[in-house]
Structure 1
Amino acid sequence: MVQLSSVLVMVVIVLIVDPSTAKQFNVLIFSPIGSRSVYHLTIHLSEILADAGHLVTHVSTFGPSSKHQNVTEIPTGASVEHLEDINIFHYRNSAAGFDWISDVTEKVGHKMWMDERIRRLWERRHDFDAFIILSSMNEIVGPFLMDYGGAVVTLCTSAAAPELLFLARQGHWLPLSVTPNGKFLYDEHSSFFERLFSPWRTWFLYKEYRQKSIFVAQKILDQYIPKMPSVEKLFERNHLSLINGHFTLDGPLPLLPNQIEIGSITSKSPKPLPKDLEEFAESSGDAGIILFSLGSIVRSRDIPHEYKVVFLKAFRKLSQKVIWKYEEDDLDLPPNVIARKWLPQQDILGKIPCFLGHPIKMNFCINIT
């Protein structure tokens, strides 16, 4: 799968630039609004392009981490807390979740367009050969698409149907009655009533998103950019879509040739684990270990207490050892469970038979070794 990812990346490079791979291209990658895991995805993509000899500028709200000489990171000027200070379990109601999107768009959007570094970058946007932009929640970068003549690539961070609605910007509407819907855990084997419900519910989500994200971004940008055109119209200029998913997990999708699944693109060969984790893993013997992680934006500490009790009761009965990404020290853990606030997930994934996570997170963790 790692080799397949490398091939896909090379295809992407050829599609978004010139067929001559000897030329060095200037690529601008936007990830101002997204979780830390999304940041890791986009910075990894930046370094892959940089390894191929291209110059990459990466815009994000998270602090710089890449040491690659061909990667330049530019912060938005907004606080990381805007993206991480969230209890996702409070937003299980979809309407409340869109309120959070609206709030974070305002906080990051204003800071971003008041920042001189971003303004200078915008003024020289024509210096770049290609843009790579997150497909949702990032309409705030719309001004960069104004009279831009280079290649525009969108990156879908998951293969859930609501996310894939943004492929419609390329004139490609997926058949929602048969497209797997990660939001509701429907798959290609859905019942008649699930197929009937899925298009209505998915369209409702998109309409809510349009109201709480796209319109909010438009209102903010109108304050900073003279004669700002429609953000929706600007985002219709899209030459290629990268989808961080794979049909083996998400189900088959009827994609166009310029819509490429890149699930597993972040996979790497595992490094040795820290000594305590290595000893814990070895002590499990033939039973093996289980990794339980909800990622960076969905924190285990925020799980309602009654469900934490259920997890612990279930883990206690297992013959396997369990490594749990848990951000506090308030649990009475059974002997076969250890908890850490942060884990070298990529390295652990190369050593385990079972991984527990939320559905969308699985797209970041496809790892075949």
Structure 2
Amino acid sequence: MKLKVTIVAAILWACMLQGEGFKILIAAPVTTIYVKDSLCAIARALINNGHQVSMITPLVPNFAHKNLKVIKIVPKLKFLQNVNLFTLNSSILEEHTTKVLAATAEAMWEGLPMRREMGTFASFDAVVIPKFLNELIYPFLDDFDGVFLTFTTLGAEHYAVSHMHGLEVGYWFVKSLLDGPYVGSHSLTEKFILSILELSDHNFNHSKVHPSASDAIKKYDSRSIDFEEYEEKSRLRLLDGHWLLDGPLAHTPATVEVASLTARDGQPLPDSLEKFWRSNSSQGIIYVSFGSYLKSSFIPTHLKHTLLQAFSSLPHRVVWQYDGVDLDLPANIFRQKILPQQDLLGDNRTLLFISYCSASAMREAAYHGVPVLALPIALDQHKNAKKLEALGVAKILDWRTVTADQIVGAATELTTDKMFAEKMREISRVLRDEKERPGDVAAGWVEHAILHREAPRLQLPYGPEQLWVLGDRDLRMLWAATAGGLGFLLGVILTMIYVSVCRCIRRLRHKEKSE
């Protein structure tokens, strides 16, 4: 009898807790698969804590739950859809971004699922919005009285720092730009170059992204949108970063690192892969993937044949995520359009991961302790590859000039030199030894921001003049010296012009008098 009473009491208590849960909106109308999966990890943790979560997304979440409501939007063009990374440049990215924002705005304002939810935003206790390319959601927050939080991926965290309380001071901090050329400790010259690159990156956001978002919104909402005013309202920033992989980053108490959200333990491999493994003797598995967005038709022909020649020469079982059927594969290569990446990385027979080194690839390889042979192509991939190389767990090859012998040589070194695997396993142990899963950490801070009404004690209590003091002193001095030098040079040039003009005037007057 006592046992029954205890069980009933526990059930009633659980129901009470569930009833007292918060309502949280995760709004990501523009997203990538990696960001979507990261947000799903946060959503799952929030739901496990008894809260209700709604997600605005163009992509299907990787789990379902009765307390997860999906508000699906269907834009005609998604971010990075049909983008050839091999030919990507700034102008193509700018044009693609403009089209994506326009298509997403149309899907949001004209799509039935979103129209049904337009009046419900005020009912949420908190809203989490990815920082980059999701400005379209801001007009819906006008009547929102809850807590506004941002999720920021590495390479965009300078936006989050720069916009805290409206302080445009990100240039004084040396941070990890999306495609910055340096990792680790920086010389003064490298700091100066990074600050210039950050100015350029900041300009892209303000001169390209914001105008494109504004144009897309104006078609449906005539109000003038001040994006910076909305961005200043963010009270907590969840940063996809980890000190072990990314090094120390300059941020404030209101920024919480929650990296490797998508990493999970591996599951047994499918029967098709097990059959492939047993079909022949092998020294181990090499897993090859260039991500979900890169179609086989985008890969240059010379690179395809170089990869095929190299893989054919390796004494390993090569498992290649490849959606084409245009290659005649030897017996040691298994091809499939979609492969269970984390199950393969989590299998102790996998010795090497050949990848273009996206953020998800970098973090999942580190979590599972598998060394990486990186062939970075675009965006943040070069930066990610350099981070792993600096940690001594990866080698980098240039896809433009790589040869089959170079691939075979690098793969052989990475699989036979135990130093690479030992260093990567040590990183894996540290990541796995975290006391809380990253999703649980993120969920805890979301709850903190709600319970403490916008977490006022995490906010900076001072203005830009004090915040600058926290920046890099040498970099500030170099900028001051550069500005002074340019000012002096400009003064000299103007003085020379003034003297030359005066001389010309005197000569003309003298000539007139002589005549």
Work out whether the TM-score is over 0.5.
yes
> Is residue 175 of structure 2 the alignment partner of residue 179 of structure 1?
yes
Deviation at 1:182, TM superposition (A): 4.5
The aligned counterpart of 1:53 is: 50
Residue 69 of structure 1, aligned match among 61, 66, 76 = 66
The aligned counterpart of 2:491 is: none
Distance 2:189 2:309 in 1: 35
Q: Given the superposition, is the C-alpha separation of residues 81 and 231 from structure 1 closer, same or farther in structure 2, using an over 3 Å criterion?
A: closer
> Is residue 169 of structure 2 the alignment partner of residue 168 of structure 1?
no
Q: Given the superposition, is the C-alpha separation of residues 356 and 185 from structure 1 closer, same or farther in structure 2, using an over 3 Å criterion?
A: farther
TM-score of the two chains, using structure 1 as the length reference: 0.84
The aligned counterpart of 2:490 is: none
Deviations 1:212-233 (A, max 9, x none): 3211111222232343431232
Deviation at 1:27, TM superposition (A): 0.5
Deviation at 1:284, TM superposition (A): 7.9
* Relative contact order higher in (CA < 8 Å, ≥ 6 apart): 1
The aligned counterpart of 1:135 is: 131
Distance 1:284 1:146 in 2: 63
Distance 1:204 1:329 in 2: 41
> Is residue 356 of structure 2 the alignment partner of residue 358 of structure 1?
yes
Distance 1:296 1:41 in 2: 16
Residue 150 of structure 1, aligned match among 137, 146, 153 = 146
CA contact (8 A) 1:82 1:107 kept: no
Distance 2:333 2:208 in 1: 41
Q: Given the superposition, is the C-alpha separation of residues 281 and 175 from structure 1 closer, same or farther in structure 2, using an over 3 Å criterion?
A: farther
Distance 2:93 2:103 in 1: 16
Deviation at 1:249, TM superposition (A): 2.1
Deviations 1:246-274 (A, max 9, x none): 22222221222221221222222222111
Q: After alignment, is 261-270 or 179-188 more displaced? A: 179-188
Distance 2:175 2:79 in 1: 33
Counterparts of residues 1-369 of structure 1 (less than 5 Å)? 23-63=20-60, 66-79=63-76, 84-91=81-88, 93-157=89-153, 159-160=154-155, 162-170=156-164, 171=167, 173-174=169-170, 178-190=174-186, 192-281=188-277, 287-351=283-347, 352-361=350-359, 362=361, 365=364, 366-367=366-367, 368=428
Deviations 1:140-178 (A, max 9, x none): 111122242211111123x22x45433322248556774
Deviations 1:265-318 (A, max 9, x none): 222222211112123346687732222222222345422222223323333343
Distance 2:169 2:282 in 1: 47
Partner amino acid for 1:267? A
CA contact (8 A) 2:58 2:73 kept: yes
CA contact (8 A) 2:30 2:78 kept: no
Deviation at 1:124, TM superposition (A): 1.6
Distance 1:177 1:334 in 2: 51
Distance 1:185 1:314 in 2: 29
3-state DSSP class of the match of 1:257? coil
Deviation at 1:21, TM superposition (A): 9.8
3-state DSSP class of the match of 2:198? helix
Distance 1:175 1:208 in 2: 14
CA contact (8 A) 2:242 2:258 kept: yes
Distance 1:175 1:150 in 2: 31
Deviation at 1:195, TM superposition (A): 3.1
Q: Given the superposition, is the C-alpha separation of residues 231 and 102 from structure 1 closer, same or farther in structure 2, using an over 3 Å criterion?
A: same
Deviation at 1:73, TM superposition (A): 0.3
Q: Given the superposition, is the C-alpha separation of residues 264 and 286 from structure 1 closer, same or farther in structure 2, using an over 3 Å criterion?
A: farther
Which is higher, the Rg of structure 1 or of structure 2?
2
Distance 1:152 1:307 in 2: 45
Distance 2:67 2:276 in 1: 39
Q: Given the superposition, is the C-alpha separation of residues 177 and 237 from structure 1 closer, same or farther in structure 2, using an over 3 Å criterion?
A: closer
TM-score of the two chains, using structure 2 as the length reference: 0.61
Q: Given the superposition, is the C-alpha separation of residues 191 and 99 from structure 1 closer, same or farther in structure 2, using an over 3 Å criterion?
A: farther
Deviations 1:163-216 (A, max 9, x none): 543332224855677423441442024455443322212321331233332111
Which segments of 5 or more consecutive residues in structure 2 lack a partner in the other structure? Answer: 1-16, 368-427, 433-515
Q: Given the superposition, is the C-alpha separation of residues 225 and 81 from structure 1 closer, same or farther in structure 2, using an over 3 Å criterion?
A: closer
Distance 1:317 1:81 in 2: 38
Question: Greater helix percent: which structure?
Answer: 2
3-state DSSP class of the match of 1:105? helix
Q: Given the superposition, is the C-alpha separation of residues 255 and 137 from structure 1 closer, same or farther in structure 2, using an over 3 Å criterion?
A: same
3-state DSSP class of the match of 2:26? strand
Distance 1:328 1:302 in 2: 10
Distance 1:331 1:176 in 2: 50
Q: Given the superposition, is the C-alpha separation of residues 182 and 208 from structure 1 closer, same or farther in structure 2, using an over 3 Å criterion?
A: closer
**Aligned residue pair count:** 347
Calculate percent identity across the aligned residue pairs.
Answer: 28
Q: After alignment, is 137-146 or 173-182 more displaced? A: 173-182
Distance 2:168 2:357 in 1: 24
The aligned counterpart of 1:9 is: none
Distance 1:269 1:148 in 2: 38
Deviation at 1:98, TM superposition (A): 1.7
Deviation at 1:96, TM superposition (A): 1.8
3-state DSSP class of the match of 1:152? strand
Q: Given the superposition, is the C-alpha separation of residues 357 and 155 from structure 1 closer, same or farther in structure 2, using an over 3 Å criterion?
A: farther
